[in-house]
Structure 1
Amino acid sequence: MPVTKSTIPAKARPLPPGVYCPVISLYKSTKTQEIDHDAMYKHCQYLVRGGLHGLVYQGTNGEAILLNPEEKKDVLRTVRKAVTELGLPDYPIVAGISAQSTNESIQLAKDAYEAGASFALLLPPSFWAKSVSEEALLGFYRDVADESPLPVVCYNFPGVTAGIDLNSDDLSALASHPNIVGVKLTCGNVGKAVRLTSKFSPEQFSVYGGSSDFLFPTLEAGGVGCVTGLANVFPRSTAHIYDLWIQDKKDAARKLQEVVANAEWACKKSLSLTKFGVGHFVGKRIGLTDPKTFNPRRPYLPPNEKMQKWTIDVMSVLVEEENSIPERALKGAQAVNGTK
C-alpha cells in the first residue's frame, strides 16, 4: 500500500538544496577572546569559493551559546558583507536562533533578519527536559515560526538538548506550518529521513543530514543535502559529493563519500578538533597564522598534542582530493580572502 503524500502547499521561501557549512567562530588572541571579524570574513569567502551552497552561523559549531546577542548580529553583518563583495548578495546565510525561551528565540530571529540572515535554525528547548511535552515542543516551534521574519529550519541534535529528539511524527506535524521549511537531522537517523521524504516533497519540507559522512545515503533517501562541520576544513570535497550526485555521477559520489566519512571522524570527537583542523589545513591559505585564532572560547580548551596529531592523520586522507577540485568561479568579486 503506497504512502499517502502530503497535500500541504509548497513553502514560499524554501531553503535551497545543497551542502551547508556550520561555520566556526574565530577569536582574537586576547584574554576575553573578542570575535575576530577579519578572520571571519576571510574564512567566509574561502568557504564560498570552495563551492558550498550555503553557510550556517551561530549553530553548535559556531559556539552560539558562548556568544552574546550583539556579537551574533555583528558576525552576520560581517559575513553578509563578505558574500556580497564576492558578487553573491543573495547567497544563503542561515542563523542559529536557538534559545531556551520562546521570547528569546523570536528576538534572535528578528535580530538575525535585521543583520542580513536569510533563514533561521532552531533547536528544541531543553533546560527542563522532562517538562518538554509534545504539546510544549510543537507549541514552541509554531510560536517562534509565527513571529519569525525568517523561514525556520528545525534542528534535531539530541546530543546537545538533553536527549530531546524530534521524531518523524513531530516533524510531520510541524511541516504543515507555512514558515517551517525543513529539518537538519544531526541525529543521523536515515530512517527518519525516509519517513519524511516519503510524505513531503522538498518544496513542502526539506530534509538535510546533519553531517557529510552520511550525505550520499541522505540523498538516496530523498533528502536534499547536509550541514557538515567538516566543510569548515574541506569545503570543496564536501560540496562535491552533492554536485556529483545531482549530475548522476553516483559511483564517483559514493567513492568520495567514503573518503569524506573517514576524514569527518575527527569532527565527531569534538569541536576543538574541527577548529584545530581548520587552523592546520586552512589557516595559512587565508593568512591566519596564529593558532589561538582557532581555539574554542573559554572555558573550553584546545586539543592536546596527542589529539592534534591524531586529527592531522585522520583528516589528511582528504587533502589530495580537496586540492584536485577547482574553486567556484565568481564574477564581479571585490575581494579575495581578505577585508577590503
Structure 2
Amino acid sequence: MPITKSSIPPKKTMLPPGVYTPVISLYKPSKTQEIDLEAMYTHCQYLVKSGQHGLVYQGTNGEAILLSRSEKSSILQTARRAVTDLGVPDYPIVAGISGQSTNESIELANDAYQAGASFALLLPPSFWPKAVTEEVLVGFYTDVADASPLPIVVYNFPGVTAGVDLNSDDLATLAAHPNIVAVKLTCGNVGKAVRLTSRFSPEQFSVYGGSSDFLFPTLEAGGVGCVTGMGNVFPKATAKVYDLWVEGKKEEARALQEVVANAEWACKKSLALTKFAAGHFLGEKLGVRPEAFWPRRPYLPPAEKQREWTVGVMGVLEEEENAIAEKSLK
C-alpha cells in the first residue's frame, strides 16, 4: 500500500540543500577568552571557499550556551560580512536560537535576523524534561515559528536536551507550519528520516542528517544534506560526498563516505576533540594560533593522549582533503 503523501503547500523559503558546517567559536588567548572575530572571519571565508553549501552558527559546536547574546550577534554580523566580502552576499547562514523559554527563543530569532542570519535552528526546551510533553513541544515550536522573522529548522539532538526526542509524528505535525522548513536529525535515526521523506517532498519539509558519517544513507533515503562538525576540520571532503552524489557518481560518493565516516569517529567523542582537530589540521593554514581552538572555560582542551588518538583517527582523510581544489564562487 503506498504511503499517503502530504498535501501541504511548498514553503515560501527553503533552506538550500547540501552540507552545512556548525561553525566552532574561536577565542582570544586571554583569561576571559573573548571572541576572536578576526579569526572567525578568516575561518568563515575558508569554509565557503572549501565548498560548504551553508554555515550554522551558535549550535552545539558553536558552544552557544557559553556565549552572551551580544557575542552571538557579533559573530553573525562577522559571518555575513565575510561572505559578502567574498561576493556571495546571499550565502545561507543559519543561526541557533535555542532558549529554554519561548520568549528567549523569539528574542534570539529577532537578534539573529537583525544580525544578518537567513534561517534559525531551534532545539526543544529541556530544563524540566519530564514536563516536555508532545503538547509542550508542538506549542513551543508553533509559538516561536509564528513570531520568528526567520524560517525555522527543527534541531533534534536528545544528547544535549536531557533525552527530549521529537519523534516522526511530532515532526510531521510541525512540518505543516508555514514557517518551519526543515529538520536536522542529530539523533542519527535514519528510520525517522525515511518516514518523513516518504510523506513530504523537500519543497514541503526538508530532512538533514546531523553528521556526515551517514550523509550517503540520508541522501539515498530522500534527505537533502547534513549539518556536520567535521566541516570545521575537513570541509572540502565532507562537501564532496554530497557533490558526487548529486552528480550521479554514487560509487565515488560511497567510497569517500567510508573514509569520512571513519574520520568523524573522533568528532563523536567530544567537541574538544573536534576543536583540537580543526586547530591541528587547519590552524596553521588559517594563521590562527592553537589556543583559539580551545573550548571556553570551564571546559578544557583534550589531554595529549586524546590528541594523538584524534590525529591518528582523523588523519585518514587528510590526503583526500588536501587534493581537493577550492570552489570557484563566480
For Structure 1 versus Structure 2, the TM-score category normalised by the shorter chain is over 0.9
Q: Distance in 2 between matches of 1:45 and 1:185?
A: 26
Q: Distance in 1 between matches of 2:329 and 2:3?
A: 43
Distance in structure 2 (CA, Å) of the matches to 1:261 and 1:82: 30
Alpha-carbon distance in structure 2 between the residues aligned to 1:195 and 1:29:
46
Segments ≥4 residues shifted beyond 6 Å? none
How far off its partner does 1:19 sit? 0.2
2-structure distance, mates of 1:271, 1:33: 17
Distance 1:179 1:105 in 2: 15
Q: Which residue of 1 aligns with 2:175?
A: 175
What is the Cα deviation at residue 329 of structure 1? Answer: 1.1
The SS at the match of 1:282 is helix
Q: Distance in 2 between matches of 1:285 and 1:198?
A: 43
1:337 corresponds to which residue?
none
For normalisation by structure 1, the TM-score amounts to 0.97
State the match for 1:261 in structure 2: 261
Pairwise CA distance, 1:324 = 1.1
3-state SS in 1 of match to 2:291: helix
2: CA distance, partners of 1:134 / 1:192: 17
Give the deviation of 1:160 after TM superposition. Answer: 0.3
Q: Which residue does 2:128 correspond to in 1?
A: 128
Name the counterpart of 1:306: 305
Where do 1:207-286 residues align within 5 Å?
207-286=207-286
Residue 9 of structure 1 aligns with which residue? 9
Q: Which residue of 1 aligns with 2:140?
A: 140
Hey, what's the Cα distance between the residues in 2 that align with 1:313 and 1:46?
24
Counterpart position of 1:78:
78
Q: Distance in 2 between matches of 1:221 and 1:254?
A: 14
Any idea what SS the aligned residue of 2:262 has? helix
Query: SS of the residue aligned with 1:3?
Result: coil
Q: How many residues align?
A: 330
Separation (CA, whole Å) in 2 of partners of 1:294 and 1:325 = 24
Aligned position for 1:159:
159
1:102 matched residue in structure 2? 102
What secondary structure does 1:127 align onto?
coil
Relative contact order, CA 8 A, sep 6+: which one is greater? 1
- Stretches of structure 2 lacking an aligned partner (at least 5 in a row): none
Partner of 1:19: 19
Calculate the TM-score normalised by the size of structure 2. Answer: 1.00
Counterparts of 2:259 and 2:139 in 1: how far apart (Å)? Answer: 41
Report deviation, 1:223: 0.1
**2:299 corresponds to which letter in structure 1?**
Y
Helix, strand or coil at the partner of 1:111: helix
User: Quick one: distance in 1 between partners of 2:209 and 2:141?
Assistant: 20
Identical pairs, percent: 75
- C-alpha displacement at 1:330, in angstroms? 2.5
Structure-2 residue corresponding to 1:33: 33
Match of 1:336 in 2: none
Report the residue type matching 2:311 in the other structure: I
Q: In structure 2, what is the equivalent of residue 89 of structure 1? A: 89
Deviations 1:249-294 (A, max 9, x none): 0000000000000000000000000000010000011111x21100
- Secondary structure of 1:262's counterpart equals helix
For 1:112, the aligned partner's letter is A
Amino acid at match of 2:234: F
CA RMSD of aligned residues (A): 0.4
> How many angstroms apart in 1 are the aligned matches of 2:151 and 2:94?
10
State how far apart, in whole Å, the 2-side matches of 1:231 and 1:119 are: 19
